[in-house]
Amino acid sequence: MSTETVHHTALTLADHLPALQVLVTFVAAPLIVLLGSRRLAWPITFIASAVSLVIAALLLSQVLDGSVISYHMGGWAPPLGIEYRVDAANAFVLVLVTAISTVVLPFARVSVESEVPKRHHVLFYTSFLLCLTGLLGVTITGDAFNVFVFLEISSLSTYVLIAQGAERDKRALTASYDYLIMGTIGATFFVIGLGFLYMATGTLNMADIAERIADQGSNRTIRAAFAFIVVGIALKVAMYPLHRWLPNAYTFAPSAITAFLAATATKVAVYVLLRFMFSIFQPAFLFEVNTLEFIILPFALVAMFAASFIAIFQSDFKRMLAYSSVAQIGYILLGIAFLTETGLTAAIVHLFNHGITKAALFMAVGAYVFAARGSFYDDIQGLGRRLPWTSGAVVIGGLSLIGVPGTAGFVSKWVLVQGALDKGWWPVAMLIVASSLLAVIYVWRVIEVLYMRPVLTDREIRSVPAMMLVPIWIAALSCIWFGLNTDMTLNAAQAAARGLLAGTTGMH
């Protein structure tokens, strides 16, 4: 740690990038409220998000060579002060989150206009920015308690955003309430875990905790902390038996919010899970307690099948995608459960690939809701020819969801199967392929509805504006781009996986 430069003594703006990453959106949020102008709300949100994307890209370019940026908040050196810590793994997540929000926002402008009452727009974009701030903060901070604070900032604004769907369907309110209860229980479990960690180690800085755990080995307090933290974060990840909040929340939230949350919120939670499992608790510790093999692995497999199976029988496109999200999170957790470099690489790549796939699909759902005023299969039937661009993106996203070669989904599933075979777990590899067949069924149902059914003549279909189509196609084309050009994602994920498996040494 002594080799790192102390950044706060430098006075250039570039040295403060880690702080600006969180501050730009955080300051823009109250600014919108103070200005109180509906016309200015969206441009300010978009600019703040775009600036964050630039900052995240700059940070990533600084750490791609494997170095670590340690930023001392307010000039207080860790472990006493709060430290922001950027390495390859979280810079990657920062870019994903800011990129998705910047792509979704132009889409949101039209979609929100038609789904959320006008008097809520200013506060809507404020909540959006706060949610983004929270997600970025969770990702960038190197202080364990700071993770909790930012997690709650993002969660609280998420509850507000989901409830905004009440204009279309009043069940958004109960969905938001359910998520509030479960999310708060999860966050409180997480805090209890942190309390135990603090009892055992006397520090809150992640690198410092890791060092002290390595020194004292595992004991009952640390094992209890591990259990509480994993359960708490698993609720946020929507790990299979703790996923009950997700389908309703995703179904009834405004379309733009569903696209944003599906691509970022659960992914950031997965990142936190990885960070705590591998950087704070050691991989050796994970082997010892066997949690991964006996708890996460079976639940991941159950998620892949049960959720896919439920998705097949839905009659609402949006709800079908929500259940498919639960199944896809199963793949990510499966990769983590392998506890090998290939497995972790698969998990991190899938985290990214599934993020862009679901962003494209949920935005397409939003376009259907805009055009046909509904996302049920009978609302959207026959729209394949009426809305060729939107439906084309659905086909690409659907193929990526199945994992057809040439799309992003294929890359991650391929690495995942490889990981299973490396471990000699061929039944698991068979199950991955089998559950992909279930994905074929539910994606095929949508494509059949879109292209092989007649349009209901009594329905008025609005055309989808370019402001929606461009973001949808950016996401859809990136599904293909990252399916053909795998070097970038695979290399970044491999570097991150290697760093995580190195345990504490990865923190230095």
Chain positions contacting other proteins, by CB under 8 A: 145, 148-149, 152, 156, 159-160, 163, 166, 170-171, 173-174, 176-177, 180-181, 184-185, 187-188, 191-192, 195, 198-199, 204, 315-316, 376-379, 381, 449, 453-454
CA proximity to 225, closest of 256, 195, 251, 246: 195
Shortest distance, CB of residue 28 to other proteins, whole angstroms? 20
Query: How far from the centroid of its chain's Cα atoms is residue 163's Cα?
Result: 20
C-beta of 216 vs 315, nearer to other proteins: 315
Rounded Cα distance between 445 and 463, Å, is: 23
What's at 253, amino acid-wise? A
503 Rama sector, left if φ>0, alpha if ψ -120 to 50, beta otherwise: left
CB contact burial 74-96 (16+ within 10 A = b; e otherwise):
eeeebbeebbbbbbbbbbbbbbb
Shortest distance, CB of residue 358 to other proteins, whole angstroms? 23
C-beta of 52 vs 251, nearer to other proteins: 251
Shortest distance, CB of residue 271 to other proteins, whole angstroms? 21
C-beta of 191 vs 411, nearer to other proteins: 191
400 — phi, psi (to 5°)?
A: -65, -35
C-beta of 106 vs 142, nearer to other proteins: 142
User: Do residues 133 and 179 make contact, with C-beta atoms less than 8 angstroms apart?
Assistant: no
C-beta of 91 vs 172, nearer to other proteins: 172
Classify residue 373 by its DSSP letter. Answer: S
Shortest distance, CB of residue 153 to other proteins, whole angstroms? 9
Helix, coil or strand: residue 313? coil
C-beta of 43 vs 195, nearer to other proteins: 195
Q: Give the list of residues 6+ apart from residue 420 with CB closer than 8 angstroms, or none.
A: 338, 343, 426, 428, 429, 432
Shortest distance, CB of residue 163 to other proteins, whole angstroms? 6
86 — phi, psi (to 5°)?
A: -115, 120
Helical residues (DSSP H) of 387-452, grouped into ranges: 388-402, 408-422, 426-451
User: Do residues 150 and 137 make contact, with C-beta atoms less than 8 angstroms apart?
Assistant: yes
C-beta of 191 vs 359, nearer to other proteins: 191
C-beta of 134 vs 335, nearer to other proteins: 134
Shortest distance, CB of residue 202 to other proteins, whole angstroms? 9
In the beta sheet, which residues pair with residue 85?
A: 70
Rounded Cα distance between 341 and 347, Å, is: 10
C-beta of 154 vs 407, nearer to other proteins: 154
CA proximity to 501, closest of 290, 288, 277, 295: 277
Q: Give the list of residues 6+ apart from residue 318 with CB closer than 8 angstroms, or none.
A: 250, 251, 255, 258, 362, 365, 369, 375
Shortest distance, CB of residue 204 to other proteins, whole angstroms? 8
Shortest distance, CB of residue 197 to other proteins, whole angstroms? 11
C-beta of 316 vs 422, nearer to other proteins: 316
Nearest-5° Cα angle at 245, 309 to 116:
110
Helical residues (DSSP H) of 202-242, grouped into ranges: 206-216, 220-237
Shortest distance, CB of residue 159 to other proteins, whole angstroms? 6
Shortest distance, CB of residue 194 to other proteins, whole angstroms? 8
User: Do residues 308 and 439 make contact, with C-beta atoms less than 8 angstroms apart?
Assistant: yes
C-beta of 82 vs 99, nearer to other proteins: 82
C-beta of 309 vs 376, nearer to other proteins: 376
User: Do residues 390 and 464 make contact, with C-beta atoms less than 8 angstroms apart?
Assistant: yes
Shortest distance, CB of residue 314 to other proteins, whole angstroms? 10
At 412, list the tokens. Answer: 């991650």
Shortest distance, CB of residue 365 to other proteins, whole angstroms? 15
